[in-house]
Amino acid sequence: MANYYNENTILYLNGEYIKAADAKMDLYSQSLHYGYSVFEGIRSYKTINGDTKIFKAREHFERLYNSAIAVNLPYRWTVEELTAATYEILERNKLEDAYIRPVVFAPANMSFAQNAESYITIQAWEMQPFLGEKLLRVMTSSFQRPNPKAFMIQAKAAGHYVNSILASQEAKAKGYDEALLTDMNGYVAEGPGANMFYEKAGQLFTPSPGHILPGITRETVFEICKELDIPLGEKLVTTDELKDADAAFFCGTAAEIIGWESFDDIPFKKNWNDSVGKRVQEAYKDKVIEKKPLPPNPKDELTKTLIVEELY
Ligand code: PMP
């Protein structure tokens, strides 16, 4: 297990900056007993200017608010104050490339009744890419994503992650790197902690919203595709389509962008380094460190025309 904190680590707890080792939480909390809390996973990066920047702080703190409201957890913080608190935590812990974990949690309450207040903590630590940097062997999980009529599936609620843990542990126990979960209708949904895209005939596709966490990295991939003129579509995806794909990747704040080697033991047709996903991966790496993309090479225009002609 990673080292999340040591005796010097400072965390944010309800407006105060305190030593992680001294922080206390109520063991009678509704969050601990029922998995009733919401959280975020955010990253900061040392940019090319040398500053430390939180990537898409507003988007993450707005999602934290939306997650809390979706599950009726009282919420009284602004994006600005939480962003400022996060920068303070990064500075006090001398962190640059960090993973940041805000959690909104409930007081002592063994009933299912709503609370009058919530608490918040923000923690940060150094973390390598969540799924590593090697191409992944992915398997279809025997666990499906939760029914969106049983959960507020668009919320990043702690309880949902029991499903993620089961799926990921099953995949690892069977010798794979990660799981892919289908939705309750059998269509491809997402990984335990990341969204997915696949490439077919030079285009990228990703499962439509409804059964997935609408990822901020997924949204960033949309932006990158627009910038690089990569055709992209949202659709219902079957596992058979995925087996016939040219390449695939997971994306998420923690995982960043990571290619797949195989899906249910079927290797992908394209070498990852020649895939569209690889270009997206490079563009993502540049974006988070605020490196401006190079002006387009006139030769690229020519290649694009050829690809478009090939497609139709
Ligand atoms: N799906 C799930 C289930 C996740 O836990 C995550 C990670 N937050 C994602 C997708 C990717 O979301 P994001 O890009 O916002 O990190």
Q: With contact defined as beta carbons under 8 Å apart, do 210 and 185 qualify?
A: no
Instruction: Mark out the alpha helices in 71-144 (DSSP H runs).
Output: 79-92
Q: Is the CB of 196 under 6 A from ligand 1?
A: no
Please report, as a single letter, which amino acid is at residue 213.
L
Give the closest residue to 67 by CA, choosing from 131, 161, 130. 161
* Closest atom, ligand 1, to C-alpha of 63: 15
Task: Tell me whether residue 285 is one of the annotated catalytic residues.
Answer: no
pTM to 2 decimal places:
0.93
Give the closest residue to 245 by CA, choosing from 235, 254, 253. 235
In this structure, what DSSP letter does residue 157 have?
Answer: B
Give bridge partners of residue 182 from the DSSP assignment.
188
Q: Which helix (H) or strand (E) holds 249?
A: strand 247-252
Q: Is the CB of 256 under 6 A from ligand 1?
A: no
- What's the maximum distance between 2 C-alpha atoms anywhere in the chain? 65
Residues 6+ apart with CB under 8 A from 24: none
* CA 145 to centroid of ligand 1, rounded, Å: 13
* CA 207 to centroid of ligand 1, rounded, Å: 14
Choose which residue among 143, 213, 220, 253 to substitute to test ligand 1 binding: the one with the highest number of ligand atoms within 8 A of its C-beta.
213
What tokens appear for 202 in the block?
A: 């030079």
Q: Is the CB of 253 under 6 A from ligand 1?
A: yes
Domains of the chain, first to last? 10-125 (3.30.470.10), 136-288 (3.20.10.10)
Q: How far apart are CA 275 and CA 263, in angstroms?
A: 16
Choose which residue among 43, 54, 253 to substitute to test ligand 1 binding: the one with the highest number of ligand atoms within 8 A of its C-beta.
253
Q: What is the pLDDT along the chain (312 residues), one digit of tens a residue?
A: 668 999 999 999 999 999 999 999 999 999 999 999 999 999 999 999 999 999 999 999 999 999 999 999 999 999 999 999 999 999 999 999 999 999 999 999 999 999 999 999 999 999 877 777 799 999 999 999 999 999 999 999 999 999 999 999 999 999 999 999 999 999 999 999 999 999 999 999 999 999 999 999 999 999 999 999 999 999 999 999 999 999 999 999 999 999 999 999 999 999 999 999 999 999 999 999 999 766 665 555 554 444 444 443
Q: Is the CB of 194 under 6 A from ligand 1?
A: yes
Q: How far apart are CA 99 and CA 55, in angstroms?
A: 10
